[in-house]
Amino acid sequence: MLFDLSLYLVAGRPACRSGDLLSTVEAAIRGGVTIVQLRDPAADGRALVEDARALLAVLRPRGIPLIINDRIDVAIAAAADGVHLGQDDIRAFEAREIGGPDMILGLSVGSPAEFAASREDLDAVDYLGVGPYRVTSTKANAGAAIGAEGIAAVRALTSLPIVGIGGIEAEHAAPVIRTGVQGVAVVSAICGASDPEAAARVLAAEIASAR
Ligand code: TZP
Ligand code: MG
């Protein structure tokens, strides 16, 4: 499946200000989100599959891919489009063997050193998530903020598509895009907004004008 990393929404029930995952994601899509990840580390597998199926019902008709955070079992059970793996999850080459050639595989990389340690995985992945750009309270163990310099340093090491992540608000979209990455990923800038559609629209406009 082709995918567009431009505005990557990472969403889960606890992150949604309205408490309603589906309506938040629907609003974000109207605002211009191009790809969605279901991320809810506290949820059990059964709940994740249910949420994934509900999201797929609105995303698939619009051609927007659904990526599942960490859980390849959930991605396969729900027939989602891909999986996003962290440095502690199963190796990307293992996920590729399980998920097959069409599964979209993403990998989190927090520094040039972590990129170097991921060499074995790089042939198996379709894109990298690089960050955190700024300090974020959304993810407890997100690691040190790496800023535009850190994202640019990883960018320089690979031709894989990259999405910058971590503490990104509308005002940071342009500096992140100018590091040469394909897109920006956000949780709270959209899920925590009082108007997720408007928040997504502003981010999408910032990204478009930074290119
Ligand atoms: N991975 C690195 S930082 C982060 C994840 C999932 C959290 C991003 O959330 P926010 O609210 O956009 O800072
Ligand atoms: Mg993870």
pLDDT given for residue 73 in this prediction: 98
Rounded average pLDDT over 156-160: 98
Residue 1 lies in a domain: no
Counted domains in the chain: 1
Residue 2 lies in a domain: no
Q: Whose CA is nearest to atom 6 of ligand 1?
A: 139
- With 90 as the cut, is the pLDDT of residue 141 above it? no
CB-count burial class (<10 Å; 0-12, 13-18, 19+) for 113: exposed
Rounded to 5°, angle at Cα 191 from 185 and 195: 115
Q: Is 130 in the pocket of ligand 1 (CB under 6 A)?
A: no
Tell me the pLDDT tens digit for each residue of 13-44. Answer: 988 988 899 999 999 999 999 999 999 999 99
Dihedral sign, Cα of residue 129, residue 135, residue 141, residue 144: positive
Tell me the pLDDT tens digit for each residue of 79-110. Answer: 999 999 999 999 999 999 999 999 999 999 99
Residue 50 lies in a domain: yes
Residue 138 lies in a domain: yes
Distance CA 170, CA 160 (A): 24
69 is in an annotated binding site: yes
Question: Where is average pLDDT lowest: 101-105, 141-145, 178-182, 184-188?
Answer: 141-145
The model's pTM: 0.98
What's the CATH number where 139 sits?
A: 3.20.20.70
Q: If you ran DSSP here, which 8-state letter would residue 182 be given?
A: S
pLDDT given for residue 46 in this prediction: 98
Mutation probe of ligand 1 site: the residue of 8, 83, 107, 138 with most atoms within 8 A of C-beta: 138
Percent of the chain with pLDDT over 70: 100
> In which domain, by residue range, is 70 found?
7-210
108 is in an annotated binding site: yes
